[in-house]
Structure 1
Amino acid sequence: MSSWQQTLAYFFRLPFHIQWRTFLVQLPRYVPLSIIHLTSPKGPHPFVIALPSRRNNKIPIYVFVPPRPVDLDVNGEDTQEGDGEWKVPVVLDFHGGGFIMGSPLEQAPYCAMMSRELGAVVISVSYRIGPFHQFPAAIHDAEDVLSAILDTDGTSKAGKVLRTEIQRHYSLMWKADRKRSHTLASHLHKSTITLDPTRLSISGFSAGGNIALNMAISAPACGLDFGLSPSATITSSPTPAFSSLLPPTRAETVLNDPEQPWPTLLPPPQARPRLIPLLLFYPSLDARLLPHLRPMKPLPNALHGTDKKPQKPKAPGLFSIMGPTYLPKRLRAHPRASPGLGNPDDVQRNAAIFLVLPEKDTLAVQSDVWVDKMNSSGWNGPVRFGDGRAGDWNEHEGGPSQAQGHENGGLEVWHAPGCRHGWTQFPETVLGKHEKRERDLVFARALNFVKEGWRREVTVERLGTRNQEMRPLEIPC
């Protein structure tokens, strides 16, 4: 039986209430790529690479190549020059959708903006989602794309394919520009484009923010936390009724022995002290409660500390119904499923975190709890409330995270009063004047945050017992 036949057989064995919802939420992934010319008219527009992954899987990635270099002035270095090469930074991006929907197509305006304004190659990942795939499929896909980016020597198949396809696309652009004009921009004299992962940023929205933070975490052995024996293995099945339905080609996401640690692929500060900016837009940090069960009122949040009105009960919505098809209840507390539950010391020390928290969000409470935990462990930085209070941070360079002597990249928090979850990705036609202004402000700050991060280095000598051992890059198989 072929792969698509197995997929259809699996789909028709699902309960009907899952079937029709799956059909609806999967539709955006089949929208033609040409729609991006309408949603993101400024460009650049992406091309798609089927990146080889573990177990003979292929991951669709949407690649945005910048139209021209941007002078980032990284520690006084010339970031554009090379011996016949155009060295470009890299932004790795993950869309949202609660691990059951979403597509890089919705990220096109953001990714194109980051590519234009940073002169970076932006890679948006179409990672695997439920119900056809289950935890930790999305994280495996993210790791495989990250490993291909870090594979500067092209020793892996994915690393070779990534660089070959980006060069092929750039060569077509280069030849087309030569035909159009005899007066070329300086970078167009360089016929070779080279990824520079020493200037790397990782961004994610909602579920994508969960994945982005995952890339900077080294999860410790945690089997005993789940009440498992040391030899137990966690398999990725949402419920007993579902596990027997998965065809062999879909059942590859089996979590490793939970007694074994799960390290990040990112290089330790000793190997690469330059900061790695993480842009986390309203991330999902704690998956233990389904969306309709998350508290919004019982705990006062940062913007309205005196608001103690009782929360009204809510009926299960789409994400509460479909979510367990990707992440079963018994795995929700795993530190890779709920990265906000982990120890702050397990976060990569050369990560600089920019956290965006809209006020009208079911994730607001868990985000505030995580911020307090991170702050108490030395992850500090400026906090912007944006509600007109006296002494609020002015959103410009020079906040507490810029102080010398920090042992990590710092945590900067941006509160967005009056904004909804996902507002940064909504079409302008559904946004009010306030949300449009907030989106412009937060994106402008995100760009500056990345530029500032690429100019800074963490103080490696002060890491002390938190030192991470030097380790070679391991390509997942």
Structure 2
Amino acid sequence: MVLFEGEDANPTNPTNRFWLHIKAVILRVLLRIGMLLHGYPFPIPPRPSFIRTIEPRSICSGRVKLRFYTPKTYHKTKKAGHKYPVVVNFHGGGFCIGKATDDSRWAKTVVDTCDAVVVGVDYRLAPEHPFPAAVDDGVDTLLYLESHALELGLDIRRISLTGFSAGGNLVFAVPLRLHFRSHLDSELSSSESLNSIPPLHRSHSTDVLLRVPSGPQPPINTNIRIVCLCSWYPILDFVLSRDIRRERSILPEKALPPFLTSLFDESYVPNRSDRYSPFASPYRASDDMLRDALPKDIFMYMCEWDMLLQEGQEFVHRLEKGGKKVRSMMIEQSMHGWDKSPNPFRDQRHVDVLYQAACEGMRSVFEHGVQQQQNVTFLT
């Protein structure tokens, strides 16, 4: 039997949700101060080149801001018909704090190394918007980029998903969700006329979409092609309790404190049954889902002193066993979120070296994608 933290608490109690909201607001203010300090040392990370807003697609959707980071020649080459690979990034913060601009240093490294467009997703935060809001916002982002690809000069056949901590979870959850939603849409369109398909309501998000079909799935009904994933110290399993994670940590005293992890977990997945969903806990996805929904190339970076290290390593073994090409690394003597330190005197060069290595790996995948597209064009 799996034991959860706070079993006696009633997560659906309005009073509990109110206090979760107050705590989250306080942490958001503190994080803004921390990220202000994180902007140093020089060079200061760049601001987004421009911002787009996704309007709600259904009653369970919400407005989502997308922050674009582009190469210097973007506007000129876009007019000439050039299409850039796309890196969609999901920030960290336990699903209830943080902003897309927190990863501006990462975005700069991606743009400079991969000559790609980076899209930072300001997904909706818990506890105001619990699971599966963040996952749905990630899927809606991909669909928005697909529908505006020509206008934005994007090559939607070369998309990489990246993310940190909670965002590292979305790196896996979003393609799983996209694959299943596309499968569900295909079933609906084959049995009903397009005009009779109901909109995606909250009941579909929390009930219908949590029931995952077994066995291989048909091809995704979209032109989107996710070619690689890059996940930094992700949380992959909300079923396993935080107490158990701390006990098996190398240095439990270096792990995130209980008051913080409880806030994150109760805010994002207050309903215990939702924690078994593969869209909340990618670790719980079937081997078939992982095989069919995730790309072949996957990069994973984990921290030695993080309570999430062991589940990350176990997930890497599953992915490799399923035929994925996983390049993983344990960052020695590092805590969860080690690259987001507010200390302006930190050794930023160490972080930049790992950022650069990850980006070079993604660039190689993007270049391979171009060669494949050229080969297909030649054959046709």
Q: TM-score, normalised by structure 2?
A: 0.73
- Displacement of 1:51 in angstroms is 1.4
Q: Does 2:366 match 1:451?
A: no
The 3-state SS of whatever aligns with 1:92 is strand
Asked whether the equivalents of residues 51 and 68 of structure 2 are also in contact (C-alpha less than 8 Å), the reply is yes
Answer whether contact 1:98 1:323 (CA < 8 A) is retained. yes
Shift of 1:11: 12
- Partners of 1:101 and 1:422 lie apart in 2 by 13
Query: Alpha-carbon deviation of 1:314?
Result: 9.4
Q: Secondary structure of the equivalent of 2:176?
A: coil
* 1:217-270 per-position Cα deviation (integer Å, ceiling 9, x unaligned): 26779xxxxxxxxxxxxxxxxxxxxxxxxxxxx97884241335599x997699
Q: Is the 8 A contact 1:64 1:121 kept in 2?
A: yes
Deviation at 1:445, TM superposition (A): 1.1
Tell me how far 1:275 sits from its aligned partner: 6.7
Q: Given that residues 287 and 332 in structure 1 are in contact (C-alpha distance below 8 angstroms), is that contact kept between their aligned partners in structure 2?
A: yes
Kindly tell me: are residues 34 and 11 of structure 1, through their superposed partners in 2, closer, same or farther at Cα, counting changes over 3 Å?
farther
Which structure has the larger Rg? 1
Letter in 2 for 1:343: S
Conserved in 2, the CA contact under 8 Å of 1:89 and 1:196?
Answer: yes
Partner of 2:132: 136
Q: Distance in 1 between matches of 2:253 and 2:87?
A: 39
Match of 2:245 among 295, 298, 306: 295
After the TM superposition, which residues 126-165 of structure 1 pair with which residues of structure 2 at under 5 Å, given as runs? 126-151=122-147, 159=148
Contact 1:89 1:121 (C-alpha < 8 Å) held by counterparts: yes
Give me the whole-angstrom Cα distance separating, in 1, the residues matched to 2:326 and 2:109: 23
Task: Provide the aligned C-alpha RMSD in A.
Answer: 4.2
Summarize the Cα distance change of 1:428–1:449 in structure 2 as closer, same or farther, 3 Å threshold.
farther
Distance (Å, rounded) in 1 between the aligned partners of 2:343 and 2:31: 21
1:92 corresponding residue in structure 2: 88
Alignment of 1:411-422 (within 5 A): 411-422=326-337
Q: Name the structure 1 match of 2:283.
A: 340
- 1:457–1:43 distance in 2 versus 1, CA, 3 Å: closer
| 1:183 match | none
Residue identity matched to 1:419 = S
Q: 1:332 to 1:141 in 2, by over 3 A?
A: same
> In the aligned structure 2, how far is the partner of 1:416 from the partner of 1:94?
20
Conserved 8 A contact 1:296-1:365: no
Aligned to 1:323: 265
Q: Is the 8 A contact 1:68 1:119 kept in 2?
A: no
Q: Is 1:111 matched up with 2:111?
A: no
TM-score normalised to the size of structure 1? 0.59
**Residue type matched to 2:306 in 1?**
D
**Matched position secondary structure for 1:204:** strand
CA distance in 2, matches of 1:262, 1:41: 48
Which 5+ residue runs of structure 2 have no aligned equivalent? Answer: 1-11, 182-200, 373-380
The answer on whether the counterparts of 2:100 and 2:121 sit within 8 Å (CA) in structure 1 is yes
SS at match of 2:328: strand
Instruction: Report the Cα offset of residue 330 of structure 1.
Output: 2.1
User: Of the candidates 107, 116, 120, which is equivalent to residue 120 of structure 1?
Assistant: 116
Q: Residues 81 and 376 (structure 1 numbering): CA distance in 2 closer, same or farther, change over 3 Å? A: same
Q: What SS is found at the alignment partner of 2:73?
A: coil
Aligned-residue offset at 1:313:
11
CA contact (8 A) 2:91 2:103 kept: yes
Give the corresponding residue for 2:318: 373
Change in Cα spacing, 1:14 to 1:313, as seen in structure 2 (3 Å) is closer
Question: Are the structure 2 counterparts of residues 375 and 199 from structure 1 closer, same or farther at C-alpha, using a change threshold of 3 Å?
Answer: closer
Cα distance in 2, alignment partners of residues 444 and 371 from structure 1: 21
Instruction: Considering Cα pairs closer than 8 Å and 6+ residues apart, tell me whether 1 or 2 has the greater RCO.
Output: 2
Aligned length in residues: 330
Cα deviation digits, residues 78-133 of structure 1 (max 9, x gap): xx978822322211000011111111121112112212332222111111121111
In the alignment, structure 1 residue 360 sits paired with structure 2 residue 319: no
Q: Which amino acid aligns with 2:51?
A: V
| Match of residue 211 from structure 2 | 259
SS of equivalent to 2:83: strand
Q: How far apart are 1:419 and its partner, in Å?
A: 1.1
Partner of 1:282: 233
Deviations 1:41-66 (A, max 9, x none): 35363432221232263111111122
| Amino acid across the alignment from 1:60 | K
SS at match of 1:365: helix
Partners of 1:251 and 1:29 lie apart in 2 by: 30
1:420 counterpart SS class:
coil
> How far apart, CA to CA, are the structure 2 residues paired with 1:323 and 1:252?
21
Q: In structure 2, what is the equivalent of residue 27 of structure 1?
A: 29
CA distance in 2, matches of 1:129, 1:148: 20
**Per-residue deviation, 1:135:** 0.7
For residues 431-466 of structure 1, give each alpha carbon's deviation from its aligned partner in whole angstroms, at most 9, with x where no partner exists.
3x4xx45422211111111111113369x9xxxxxx
Q: 1:196 to 1:19 in 2, by over 3 A?
A: closer
Closer, same or farther in 2 for the Cα pair 1:52/1:11, shift >3 Å?
A: farther
Given that residues 227 and 297 in structure 2 are in contact (C-alpha distance below 8 angstroms), is that contact kept between their aligned partners in structure 1?
yes
CA distance in 1, matches of 2:94, 2:252: 26
- Partner SS for 1:143: helix
Deviation string for 1:320-351 (max 9, x for gaps)?
A: 13421220222111111100121233233534
Q: Evaluate the alpha carbon distance shift between residue 22 and residue 251 of structure 1 in structure 2; reply closer, same or farther with a 3 A threshold.
A: farther
Conservation of the 8 A alpha-carbon contact between 2:299 and 2:328: yes
Structure-2 change in CA distance of 1:372 and 1:296 (3 Å): farther
CA distance 1:453–1:269, change in 2 (3 Å) = farther
Partner AA of 1:289 in structure 2: L
Q: Which amino acid aligns with 1:121?
A: V
Asked whether the equivalents of residues 275 and 352 of structure 1 are also in contact (C-alpha less than 8 Å), the reply is no
- Write the distance in 1 (CA, Å) between the matches of 2:329 and 2:85: 25
Distance 1:84 1:28, change over 3 A: farther
Amino acid at match of 2:27: V
Tell me the CA shift for residue 163 of structure 1. Answer: 6.6
Determine the C-alpha separation between the residues in 2 that align with 1:61 and 1:267.
Answer: 27
